[in-house]
Amino acid sequence: MTTTAKLDVNNQDILLTLREFLQSVLQQNEISAILAPQRLPMKNVVMPVLITDPEQLNRADPLAPYFPLNAARLVTRLTRKPSGGKVAVVLRSCEIRAFIELVKLNQGQTDDIIIIGTDCLGAYSNTDYLKKAGDDPDAFTRRFCENALNSPNESVDDAELIPACRACEHPIPDGADLLIGLLGIDTSKQLLVRAQTLAGEELLVKLDLPTFEEPDARQKAVDALIKKRIDYRDRMFAATHEATDSLEKMTAYLAGCINCYNCRIACPVCYCKECVFVTDVFYHEPFQYLQWARNKGALKMPTDTVFYHLTRLAHISTACVGCGQCTNACPNDIPVMELFRMVSHRTQQAFDYEAGRNIEEEPPLSVFREDEFKDIVGI
């Protein structure tokens, strides 16, 4: 699918232009609602909001460098059964890839949604965003976009992108029905809008935007950003490997874990309705704790923290999209993302698989391939 159009930028204001674009999408007869990041009226946080009134989109902020949750599982709530209407959902690249994995796991469907994705410029930590955005978060988003698109330095007001974003090699929402391109585009004049599916093309035709030829500068800008992020990712992997390459080091790395399970709750692809770690299996008898303490001389409490993370790694390393919400949710700032990202990258490489790459691609371990891992099984 190669249908490409341009979105003329209103008064050199990307944020205003995107809001007007989303309003025009919602005004289409077949679109019942839009799920989009919106600045809440009671506070300057930006959260996914299901919107049916176009006027409400005046507070939409899909480019805010703020990422309090991965919305993929919210989309599964809207799609697990027919809703009676079609919903447009505005998602980051990692949210789209997580949703694709959840669809493969029979947690959601794509029939009644249109996915709209913008080039992802990244996000700051929740704390940094709330400190820096101040009383005028719209101005902060505009300043962030201008800096991210026109400067090699991705910081604004001394705030740095979170490691998950700095290591993300997927800033382009390839899985979206409609892609809104920013990188390599003169965003003071126009944005690129590209249909990537038949559903996206049908919507784009109805929006009646002028055609646009993608400039050569776009691919160069995309390639440069991806190279920068892969370089950071590989340095991150090397440092994480050095910090976790033995059981002793792994135990130290995860020493601050309190078994709150926030990382499991925040993870978009950790979808089990009941986790073994919240059952009686790990609700040990009091005498067992005392016996273990006598055997070792001392017993770190709570127990089973390393085992918990190793189990999660085994369960979701083929589906991890590296969104970073695990670290974002950790109350003790354990760099969980770095560990999960490193292991999942290697796991997915081993299976020649990439989470969220293609909705038709079957997940590892769900199918039998006769020629797979012959060097290991000895066949």
116: β partners: 90, 178
Is it the case that residue 185 has pLDDT exceeding 60? yes
Is it the case that residue 2 has pLDDT exceeding 60? no
For residues 38 and 99, state if they share a domain: yes
Quote the domain boundaries for residue 140.
Answer: 4-231
Please state, for a pLDDT cut of 70, what percent of the chain lies above it. Answer: 94
338-356 pLDDT per residue, tens: 999 999 999 999 999 999 9
For residues 14 and 157, state if they share a domain: yes
Q: Could you say which of 178, 202, 231 is where a domain stops?
A: 231
For residues 263 and 297, state if they share a domain: yes
For residues 253 and 160, state if they share a domain: no
For residues 185 and 90, state if they share a domain: yes
| pLDDT, position 373 | 65
Statement: the pTM of the whole predicted model exceeds 0.85: yes
Is it the case that residue 256 has pLDDT exceeding 90? yes
Q: Could you say which of 231, 258, 291 is where a domain stops?
A: 231
> Do residues 322 and 167 touch, judged by C-beta distance below 8 A?
yes
Average pLDDT across the chain, whole number: 91
Closest CA to 78 of 88, 69, 92, 70: 88
Strand, helix or coil for residue 354 = coil
- Rounded to the nearest angstrom, the gap between the alpha carbon of residue 199 and the centroid of all alpha carbons in its chain is 23
Q: Which residue has the tokens 């769900």?
A: 366
Is it the case that residue 255 has pLDDT exceeding 70? yes
For residues 60 and 146, state if they share a domain: yes
Residue 239 lies in a domain: no
> Do residues 283 and 302 touch, judged by C-beta distance below 8 A?
no
What is the SS3 string spanning 156-183?
Answer: ECCECECHHHHCCCCCCCCCCCEEEECC
Burial classification of residue 58, based on how many CB atoms lie within 10 Å of its CB (0-12 exposed, 13-18 middle, 19 or more buried): middle
For residues 24 and 122, state if they share a domain: yes
Residue 173 lies in a domain: yes
> Do residues 69 and 325 touch, judged by C-beta distance below 8 A?
yes
- The structure tokens listed for 297 are 């001389």
∠223-229-235 over CA atoms, to 5°? 135
My answer on whether omega of the bond before 82 falls inside 30° of 0, hence cis, is: no
| pLDDT, position 379 | 56
For residues 205 and 305, state if they share a domain: no
312-341 pLDDT per residue, tens: 999 999 999 999 999 999 999 999 999 999
> Do residues 97 and 173 touch, judged by C-beta distance below 8 A?
no
For residues 299 and 269, state if they share a domain: yes
| pLDDT, position 156 | 65
Q: Could you say which of 231, 254, 281 is where a domain stops?
A: 231
| pLDDT, position 348 | 95
For residues 257 and 132, state if they share a domain: no
**Rounded distance, CA 76 to CA 112, Å?**
11
Count how many domains the chain has: 2
